[in-house]
């Protein structure tokens, strides 16, 4: 099967979230990616649940596996004096070098852009971290779970009468890579046409804040500091999630225009309360939203979330089951889209990986390799790809260069 990025070679020194996800998307589209780790300082992600059968272990962590599938996994102890030679071989081989340590660490480990450019002047390198390579807070440590708060999304999630509740996990770790891939592929294209490489400084803060631009403008133009408003929307009423049959089952419904309101009333068999003047106009519905939601809940509670969704959609309304981590893999649409691909992991066994959110008609993504165990492809990569002779490989191995 043809792949768009066939022939692109990536030396991926990055760890945790954004760096590996960017490289992973390239790998799914044909790039040859080598994920370089170190046993002495393993990827923190390898120490996060869930583990196979809840038994922790560096190679039993699905989190790491699912962000590094499609890559060859090798280990290299960058602090080892002999590591520099191996790094140079990687750079000579690679079109792209990536890292996502805290700013300054790469320089200490000898894989800064200056180091790498000396070996290959037209190399493309990207560094991704929370706050960017420069600036007063560049060295502030933190994961995606922290950045979500800094970027303003946490403040905007939850109920107005309560503390902000965080959107789940490292949301910014999933947004930033989409910016990273776009810029990186553009740089690859530019390099192919001009022969010029470059350095990409991806601040996850500066990319994900783009999603909230309208609120930034709102603050400047109208002095308004946007607040969390639960599930209400200024554009629609009724708008929210409603309790359905079964434990903690919900269905989201959004009614935007007066015509949709009429259709909505028809679906719920036009109960008397729908004629109440308190719900007779868009503005009235917005003002009496709590009562409206309660009354709607009385109808939805009698039906399964799927039934509510189907009834609404058939009448032309936006509605959808609130899927959960436990039900998402059975979602009919995601199944049809072949979004979850099962691969056999040496230690974890058969488990599922997310495909990319876009499908290319002629060069689609292809998930072939599960996440690598630590150093799983050392021999193959160092001897077959980098062309190190067997003897030298064994010697370096003995000296602990590959720990």
Partner 1 sequence: MSQKDGPLSSCRVLDLTDEKGLFCGKMLVDLGADVIKIEPPGGDPCRNVGPFYRDIPDPEKSLYWLSFNTGKRGITLNIEVSDGRRIFRQLVERADIVIESYEPGYLDSLGLGYSDLSQINPGLILTSISPFGETGPYKDFKASDIVVMALSGYMSLSGDPDRPPVRTSFPIAYCFGAAGAAAGTMIAYYHRELTGEGQWVDASAQQAVASALLNARMHWDLNRVELKRAGPYRVGLSAQGKQLINFRCKDGYVNFVMFGGKTGAKTNRGLTQWMESEGMGSDFMNEIDWDSFDMARVSQDDFDRFEGDIERFFLTRTKSELYEEGSKRGVTIYPISTIRDVFEDPQLEARDFWQRVEHPELDATLLYPGPFVKCSQTQLRPPSRAPRIGEHNQEIYHNELGMSPEELVMLRQAKAI
Partner 2 sequence: MDEQRQGPLSPCRVLDLTDEKGFLCGRILADLGADVIKIEPPAGDPCRNIGPFYHDIPDPEKSLYWFAYNANKRGITLNIESDDGRGLLSKLVEKAHFVIESFPPGYMDSLGLGYAQLSQMNPAIILTSITPFGQTGPYSRYNASDIVEMATCGLMYLCGDPDRPPVRITFPQAYLHGGADAAVQTLVAHYYRETSGCGQWVDLSIQQAAFMTTFNASWFWELNKINLKRAGAWRTGLTSGVLQRQIWPCKDGYINMPVYGGVLGARTNRLLAEWMDREGMSDDFLRGIDWDNFDMGQLTQEAWSKIEELMVRFFKSHTKEELYSEALRLNIMVYPVSTPKDIAENEQLDSREFWLQIDHPELGETITYPGPAVRASLTPMLVRKRAPHIGEHNEEVYGELGFSRDDLIVLKQSGVV
Could you list the active site residues?
173
Nearer to partner 1, 297 or 393 (CB): 297
Q: Per-residue x/- marks for partner 2, 253-282, CB under 8 A?
A: ---xxxx-xx-----------------xxx
Let me know: does 368 contact 341? Beta carbons within 8 Å.
no
Strand partners, 250: 243
Q: Per-residue x/- marks for partner 2, 279-318, CB under 8 A?
A: -xxxx--x--------------------------------
281 binds, among partner 1, partner 2, none (CB under 5 to 8 A by kind): partner 2
48 binds, among partner 2, partner 1, none (CB under 5 to 8 A by kind): partner 1
Let me know: does 188 contact 125? Beta carbons within 8 Å.
no
Q: How far is the CB of 263 from partner 1 (least distance, A)?
A: 11
Q: Could you say whether residue 89 binds partner 2 (CB under 8 A)?
A: no
Q: How far is the CB of 312 from partner 2 (least distance, A)?
A: 18
Distance separating alpha carbons of residues 168 and 26, to the nearest angstrom? 26
Q: How far is the CB of 298 from partner 2 (least distance, A)?
A: 24
The CA radius of gyration of the chain, in Å to the nearest whole number, is 25
Nearer to partner 1, 49 or 283 (CB): 49
Q: How many CB atoms lie within 10 A of CB 215?
A: 15
Backbone angles phi, psi at 306, to 5 degrees: -65, -45
Nearer to partner 2, 121 or 258 (CB): 258
End-to-end CA distance of the chain: 36
Measured in whole angstroms, how far is the alpha carbon of residue 20 from the centre of its chain? 10
Nearer to partner 1, 130 or 378 (CB): 130
91 binds, among partner 2, partner 1, none (CB under 5 to 8 A by kind): none
Q: Helix 171-194 and helix 18-28: axis angle, to 10°?
A: 50
CA dist 295 → 238, 267, 341 (Å): 11, 14, 41
Q: Please report, as ranges, the residues that interact with partner 2 according to CB under 8 A.
A: 234-236, 256-259, 261-262, 280-283, 286
């Amino acid at each position: 099967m043809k792949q768009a990025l066939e022939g692109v070679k990536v030396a991926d020194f990055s760890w945790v979230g954004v760096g590996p996800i960017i490289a992973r998307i390239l790998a799914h589209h044909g790039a040859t990616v080598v994920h370089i780790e170190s046993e002495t300082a393993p990827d923190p992600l390898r120490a996060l649940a869930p583990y196979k059968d809840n038994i922790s272990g560096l190679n039993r962590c699905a989190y790491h596996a699912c962000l590094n599938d499609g890559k060859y996994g090798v280990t290299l102890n960058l602090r080892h004096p002999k590591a520099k030679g191996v790094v140079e071989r990687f750079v000579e081989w690679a079109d792209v070098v990536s890292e996502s340590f805290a700013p300054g660490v790469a320089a200490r480990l000898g894989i800064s852009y200056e180091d790498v450019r000396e070996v290959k002047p037209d190399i493309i390198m990207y560094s991704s971290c929370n706050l960017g390579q420069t600036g007063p807070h560049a060295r502030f440590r933190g994961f995606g779970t922290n950045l979500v708060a800094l970027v303003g999304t946490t403040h905007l999630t939850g109920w107005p009468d309560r503390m902000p509740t965080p959107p789940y996990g490292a949301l910014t770790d999933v947004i930033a890579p989409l910016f990273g891939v776009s810029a990186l592929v553009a740089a690859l294209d530019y390099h192919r046409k001009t022969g010029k490489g470059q350095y990409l400084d991806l601040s996850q803060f500066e990319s994900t804040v783009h999603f909230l631009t309208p609120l930034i403008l709102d603050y400047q133009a109208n002095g308004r500091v946007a607040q969390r408003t639960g599930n209400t929307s200024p554009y629609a009423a009724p708008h929210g999630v409603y309790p359905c049959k079964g434990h903690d089952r919900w269905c989201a419904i959004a009614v935007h225009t007066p015509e949709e309101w009429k259709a909505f009333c028809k679906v719920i068999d036009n109960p008397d309360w729908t004629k109440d003047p308190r719900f007779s106009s868009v503005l009235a519905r917005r003002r009496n939203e709590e009562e409206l939601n309660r009354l709607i809940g009385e109808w939805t509670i009698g039906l399964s979330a799927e039934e509510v969704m189907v009834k609404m959609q058939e009448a032309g309304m936006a509605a959808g089951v609130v899927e959960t981590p436990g039900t998402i893999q059975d979602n009919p649409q995601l199944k049809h889209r072949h979004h979850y691909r099962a691969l056999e992991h040496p230690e974890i066994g058969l488990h599922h990986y997310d495909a990319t959110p876009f499908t290319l008609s002629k060069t689609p993504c292809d998930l072939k390799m599960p996440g690598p165990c630590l150093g799983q492809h050392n021999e193959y990569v160092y001897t077959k790809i980098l062309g190190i002779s067997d003897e030298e490989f064994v010697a370096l191995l003995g000296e602990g260069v590959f720990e």
